[in-house]
Amino acid sequence: MSVFTGAGVAIVTPFHEDFSINYEAFAELIEYQIANSTDAIIVMGTTGESATTSIEEHIEAIRFCVKTVNGRVPVVAGTGSNATDTAIHLSVEAEKCGADGLLIVSPYYNKATQNGLYQHFKKIADSVKLPIILYNVPSRTGCNILPETVVRLCTEVENIVGVKEASGNISQITKLFALAEGRVDVYSGNDDQIVPILALGGKGVISVLSNVAPKQTHDICQLYFDGKTAESAALQLKAIPLVDALFCEVNPIPVKKGVALMGIEAGPLRMPLSEIEPAHEEMLKKAMTEFGCEIKA
């Protein structure tokens, strides 16, 4: 059984001005997501600025999210690292916190061979019972999990069940589906490829867009599942200007500003990320307005 189907939000982590986690705003954002049909919450991923949180903060953010969600939707915890032992520690702690699944990114900077990737993910999976979604995002990690490796992991390791595919390479993703023969739950990792991946047999999306447009992103998936493919595709295409605006600078710079524009105190970005350029903020505001997002700030 899939960890979730539909649109899971790769949720931002709000900070206070002193860069500590703003749990009051975090709770507000979680409630907003659930009220607007988000199908799952993915906490402490790239969009959540996990790369600049301490291990203690990382675990506490997962614990808080699980407690706040309280079983209303699945919570998937980002627990990846380029150090296998660190990823194991985070994964074990996330399981203790009550997460429903794990999202584990490929090792970054030191990278790995395909065999090294297999051993890395298998060792993490062997340390927990939770279902694991691999995360393939070579543009950020410099490491591509090839389709053959994804299928091998999902076939040979019981609790590795799927992949968030953010390579952007639709030919590679098509090959993955062909090799998988239904054994891999595939989630789009790019908001401009939701419908193409659903059409190949995907389970949904792990979405940046959902932070500011949770209902619309859910609807893209649900319309497709309901057989209303033309309506789903039309909504996907309507979202493209906003998706472009959300990635006009490196994620999560624009989306965190987008959350603030909705009136939720997202707070500053931790360095080395910097605040959005004024011209890009105006472009984002325009795209959000045109897509029906509520602007309060």
Decide if 291 contacts 242 (C-beta within 8 A).
yes
Residue 297 has pLDDT above 80, yes or no: no
> What mean pLDDT is reported for the chain?
97
Q: Looking at domain 6-228, what is its CATH homologous superfamily?
A: Aldolase class I (3.20.20.70)
- To the query of whether residue 135 is one of the catalytic residues in this protein, the response is yes
- For residue 252, is the peptide bond before it cis, meaning its omega torsion is within 30 degrees of 0? yes
Tell me which of 32, 118, 135, 224 is the catalytic residue.
135
pLDDT at 1: 76
Residue 269, classified by CB atoms within 10 Å of its CB into exposed (0-12), middle (13-18) or buried (19+), is buried
Segment 55-112, tens digit of pLDDT: 999 999 999 999 999 999 999 999 999 999 999 999 999 999 999 999 999 999 999 9
Domain residue extents for the chain: 6-228
Q: What is the pLDDT of residues 140-196, one digit of tens each?
A: 999 999 999 999 999 999 999 999 999 999 999 999 999 999 999 999 999 999 999
Please identify which of the residues 32, 164, 224, 257 carries the catalytic annotation.
164
The model's pLDDT over 196-247, given as tens digits with 9 standing for 90+, comes to 999 999 999 999 999 999 999 999 999 999 999 999 999 999 999 999 999 9
What integer pLDDT is reported at residue 294 of this predicted model? 87
